[in-house]
Amino acid sequence: MTEPSFSVCVYCGSKPGTDPAFTQAAIQLGTWIGQHGGQLVYGGGRNGLMGIVADATMAAGGRVIGVIPRALVEKEWAHTGCTELHVVETMHERKQMMAEKADAFVALPGGIGTFEEFYEVWTWRQLGYHNKPIGLLNVNHYYEPMLSFLKSVVQHEFMGEWQMDLIQSHDDLSVLLPSLVQAAGLPIKFQSQAI
């Protein structure tokens, strides 16, 4: 396997959710990463959208790095089929390693774990701890209520537009992913192989 040309950290639900569009998006995202010479970094589980995106990446020929805390190995059903599986001691170590191994971040639909991870890398970026692009894949309007709330946060002047500008949101991964990878200044191989 050749060296991946970019590495995307994906945050997503440890459950599949109710809308089949979420599963479809996880498959498309993993396929896109694999087909474009990329690497997936994720939480290392087999459950829910997490397992789906990992399997799709590997099926498309991509590398997958999973990072899972020891205490969650059984609960999240650690994916021993990953190209690399790192078992770490704490959730903080997991999130730190995932962030270090990624060139860009993207959140699919998920629950509080997904939100926490997404907001953490966003807040780290606003503080200047990193300058890696962050995307929100708004599958079937899932994140619409959150985006509306965030707009009201700006209106209430608890944050500025510049902070909103630190994330990119789109409903189409074939727009969002190239934009994130290019913003990270990295090459995308096989660009003609659209999915």
Question: Using CB under 6 A as the criterion, which residues of the chain lie in contact with ligand AMP when the complex forms?
Answer: 13-15, 43, 45, 72, 76, 91, 110-114, 116-117
Tell the burial category of 154 from Cβ atoms under 10 Å away from its Cβ (0-12, 13-18, 19+).
middle
CA 128 and chain centroid, separation: 20
* Cα end-to-end distance, the chain, whole Å: 22
Nearer to ligand AMP, 112 or 194 (CB): 112
Comparison of 14 and 23: residue with beta carbon closer to ligand AMP: 14
Q: Looking at beta carbons only, is 19 or 195 nearer to ligand AMP?
A: 19
- CB nearer ligand AMP, residue 107 or residue 186: 107
Rounded least distance, CB 94 to ligand AMP, Å: 7
**Does the CA dihedral 41-42-44-50 come out positive or negative?**
negative
Which SS3 state, helix, strand or coil, does residue 170 take? strand
Shortest CB 77 distance to ligand AMP, Å: 11
Give least dist CB 71 to ligand AMP, A: 10
Question: In the complex with ligand AMP, which residue's Cβ is closer, 91 or 164?
Answer: 91
Phi, psi (rounded to 5 degrees) for 49: -65, -25
Nearer to ligand AMP, 4 or 109 (CB): 109
Cα distances (angstroms) measured from residue 48 to each of 32, 44, 52, 128, 187 = 19, 11, 7, 32, 30
User: Closest residue to ligand AMP, Cβ-based?
Assistant: 113
Token pair for residue 72?
């969650």
What CA–CA distance (Å, rounded) separates 39 from 54?
10
Nearest approach in angstroms of CB 109 to ligand AMP is 8
Q: Least Å distance between CB 180 and ligand AMP?
A: 20
Q: What single DSSP character describes residue 136?
A: E
Least distance CB 63 / ligand AMP (angstroms): 19
Distances (CA, A) of 1 to 58, 79, 157: 11, 20, 49
